[in-house]
Structure 1
Amino acid sequence: MSAQSAAARHRLVSVRRMPPAITARAAAEYDGAIAVERDFGREESLDLLRGHAAEALLFSSGFRLDAEYIAALPPQVKVAATCSVGFDHVDVAAAKARGLIVTNTPDVLTGCTADLAFSLLLSAARRLPEADALMRRDAWGPRSMGDFLGVRVWDKTLGILGMGRIGRAVARRARGFDMRVLYHDVAPLPPAMEEGAHYVASLHDLLRQSQFLSLHSPLTPATRHVLNGETLRLLPRGAVVVNAARGGLIDEEALIALLRDGHIAAAGLDVFEGEPRFDRRFIELPNVALSPHVGSGTVETRDAMGHRCLDNIAAVLGGRPPIDPIWS
């Protein structure tokens, strides 16, 4: 239990089920309502915030903190902590206008998300979903040397779109595979931060050179569908596309068309537009490795994310600056 006495404990509503360690800490340190067996819906969460006079909201990327919800928050709510690094599910302007402090969880999920992105890259390149399906239906039989061929990863060129923490971590992993790494972002990084990668000022030039492309940009109005029918075709024929950032970065209709005609050899996707719903046509494509937005999905990382949220909440409710405000 925290240093504050039970009588003076702050009040929290946690609307999404969290790992056991986070649920236990939240229950020990706060009064209020904590989702355990099921998530709380929007209206239910507002009722709980009012009923418990809660000062803090703990949520995740599956819960939209939009302008309508922010306007309905009871006045005593001071801080909302999202258990995610991305915050495209938050209406930043509305939160600022309301005076609501919103925090996220950078840093702690970088390594595991990069691991997942590179896993998808390898899986797509070497056709592991197809191989796994073949083995499960007991269909391993005679084949020629030209059958069931993937594409080599080592000694190829990887383009990284978005060279933040996760993009840089992917670049470090790519060096271990002897890949040539290029990147595009709004500006070049200092050389000491480039992880051996080379800056390409033009997105179109990056795409033309990328045999593999990994997306690590935030989703903003400027980056929505940054990969579309026109830009995807700039990739060399036979390229592999990986997205472990945000689904809205890719025009999925265009991606499906190019996967079908072979211009894009394969894709590894952890994120989708409209998730958890996703375009079921991806299931029909054997050249796509799919995962359900689990980039941070390890025990260690999810615990670290939850603790970071609770640390941010404790700072704000204790009268200190937030550790990870999504704006300064």
Structure 2
Amino acid sequence: MKPYVYITRKLPEETIAEMTAHFDVKMWDHEDIPVPREVLLEEAKKASALITMLSDKVDAELLTAGDNLKIVANLAVGYDNIDLETATKRGIHVSNTPDVLTETTADLTFALLMATARRVVEAAEYVKAGKWESWSPYLLAGHDIYSKTIGIVGMGKIGEAVARRAKGFGMDILYHNRSRKMDAEMEFGAEYSSFEELVSKADYVVSLAPLTAETRNLFTADVFTKMKKSAIFINVGRGPVVDEQALYEALVDGEIAAAGLDVFVKEPISADHQLLKLPNVVALPHIGSASTETRTAMIKLCCTNVNAVLSGDRPKTIVNKEVLR
């Protein structure tokens, strides 16, 4: 029998052709609706490989549902949805999709920064609502970007790509990371900073930090009070790094000027989420890497990793390298 591969969302047939030629492949029937938990558990009992989304909970129950599972290929850079310890103990490869989405996500990050700073969404809705009846000097006036200071929290490859764009806007660049990035300091003139100094000095605080025990609830009420009142907060990393109630109160109380958010603590968020009621919030549905070209490349990388593992080879991008020993 051919190895069985289950994919938790409906993907274009042409993107998985490499796998369907060699394996028995089945997909969930919907592109936008998540696979029900009970269905995924049943599929995991017989699957040799799973291609999962960041929103799929790949916990110990799922990883131990069957005896055939050899790889979980996550269609994302992040993998905090996966119980890595259990996967490693069971010899299950876990792969992700780094690098191929770096520039696309950096584009979205800077687009969100610009849209929030210049009140682009608010202005577009103003026109559509028929409110534009005259011109005035401060009509929907926003904030300059050129020559301001950007503070990047999480200076991975995406952070470096954002810094490259910030340099083109003549911005001063501060960054905070677990380790210094000397190449970024040389190339972009970026300055390493403590977290406390960064949030107090930056005009734009951009979170690209991964979700870890250390970063969960990193942005608290105390942190927002230390920011400039004119500061704009951008999050394209992970939602749970932010205390959303504290962010809401900071925006309402004028502790910071605005926020641009592509990620939230719980996704998808409901239409009545309190942050969506604020005019100084630009909210996006977690589309950091959502260009056609990049999503296709991510899918193909997942397929490449699955093909490799099920053929007895080393995956191209693996998270838990311990299983290779």
Aligned positions of 1:1-328 closer than 5 A: 9-37=2-30, 39-50=34-45, 53-72=46-65, 74-191=66-183, 195-278=187-270, 280-328=273-321
Question: Are residues 287 and 307 of structure 1, via their aligned partners in 2, closer, same or farther at CA, if it must alter by over 3 Å?
Answer: same
Deviations 1:213-248 (A, max 9, x none): 111110011100111101121111110111011101
How far 1:20 moved relative to its partner? Answer: 4.4
How far 1:35 moved relative to its partner? Answer: 2.1
Percentage of identical aligned residues: 38
Distance in structure 1 (CA, Å) of the matches to 2:163 and 2:300: 27
User: Are the aligned partners of 1:27 and 1:34 in contact in 2 as well (CA < 8 Å)?
Assistant: no
Distance in structure 1 (CA, Å) of the matches to 2:315 and 2:168: 37
Deviations 1:264-320 (A, max 9, x none): 111110000011125711221001111100011111000000000010111111111
Letter in 2 for 1:288: V
Distance in structure 2 (CA, Å) of the matches to 1:308 and 1:176: 31
How far 1:190 moved relative to its partner? Answer: 2.3
In structure 2, the partner of 1:4 is: none
TM-score normalised over the length of structure 1:
0.92
Question: Are residues 163 and 287 of structure 1, via their aligned partners in 2, closer, same or farther at CA, if it must alter by over 3 Å?
Answer: same
How far 1:23 moved relative to its partner? Answer: 4.3
Distance in structure 2 (CA, Å) of the matches to 1:126 and 1:48: 47
Deviations 1:84-112 (A, max 9, x none): 00111111111112221110000011111
Letter in 2 for 1:65: V
Distance in structure 2 (CA, Å) of the matches to 1:188 and 1:49: 41
Secondary structure at the counterpart of residue 51 of structure 2: strand
Unaligned runs of 5+ residues in structure 1 are 1-7
User: Are the aligned partners of 1:12 and 1:32 in contact in 2 as well (CA < 8 Å)?
Assistant: yes
Letter in 2 for 1:274: K
Letter in 2 for 1:148: L
Letter in 2 for 1:130: E
* Further displaced range: 207-216 or 137-146: 137-146
How far 1:32 moved relative to its partner? Answer: 3.5
Distance in structure 2 (CA, Å) of the matches to 1:294 and 1:81: 19
Distance in structure 2 (CA, Å) of the matches to 1:323 and 1:294: 24
User: Are the aligned partners of 2:146 and 2:171 in contact in 1 as well (CA < 8 Å)?
Assistant: yes
Letter in 2 for 1:56: A
Aligned-residue CA RMSD (Å) = 1.7
How far 1:324 moved relative to its partner? Answer: 1.1
Unaligned runs of 5+ residues in structure 2 are none
Distance in structure 2 (CA, Å) of the matches to 1:45 and 1:107: 28
Question: Are residues 66 and 19 of structure 1, via their aligned partners in 2, closer, same or farther at CA, if it must alter by over 3 Å?
Answer: same
Secondary structure at the counterpart of residue 94 of structure 1: helix
How far 1:37 moved relative to its partner? Answer: 3.4
Question: Are residues 130 and 62 of structure 1, via their aligned partners in 2, closer, same or farther at CA, if it must alter by over 3 Å?
Answer: same
User: Are the aligned partners of 1:237 and 1:264 in contact in 2 as well (CA < 8 Å)?
Assistant: yes
Question: Are residues 195 and 285 of structure 1, via their aligned partners in 2, closer, same or farther at CA, if it must alter by over 3 Å?
Answer: farther
How far 1:135 moved relative to its partner? Answer: 1.0
Distance in structure 2 (CA, Å) of the matches to 1:260 and 1:18: 41
Distance in structure 2 (CA, Å) of the matches to 1:160 and 1:194: 16
Distance in structure 1 (CA, Å) of the matches to 2:130 and 2:62: 51
Question: Are residues 282 and 138 of structure 1, via their aligned partners in 2, closer, same or farther at CA, if it must alter by over 3 Å?
Answer: same
User: Are the aligned partners of 2:19 and 2:25 in contact in 1 as well (CA < 8 Å)?
Assistant: no
User: Are the aligned partners of 2:263 and 2:285 in contact in 1 as well (CA < 8 Å)?
Assistant: yes
How far 1:25 moved relative to its partner? Answer: 4.2
How far 1:66 moved relative to its partner? Answer: 1.3
Distance in structure 1 (CA, Å) of the matches to 2:214 and 2:182: 24
User: Are the aligned partners of 1:183 and 1:197 in contact in 2 as well (CA < 8 Å)?
Assistant: no
User: Are the aligned partners of 1:270 and 1:290 in contact in 2 as well (CA < 8 Å)?
Assistant: yes
Aligned residues: 318
TM-score normalised over the length of structure 2:
0.93
How far 1:323 moved relative to its partner? Answer: 1.4
User: Are the aligned partners of 2:75 and 2:299 in contact in 1 as well (CA < 8 Å)?
Assistant: yes
Question: Are residues 19 and 215 of structure 1, via their aligned partners in 2, closer, same or farther at CA, if it must alter by over 3 Å?
Answer: farther
Deviations 1:31-87 (A, max 9, x none): 13222436432221232343xx43111111010111222222x11111110000011
* Further displaced range: 314-323 or 113-122: 314-323
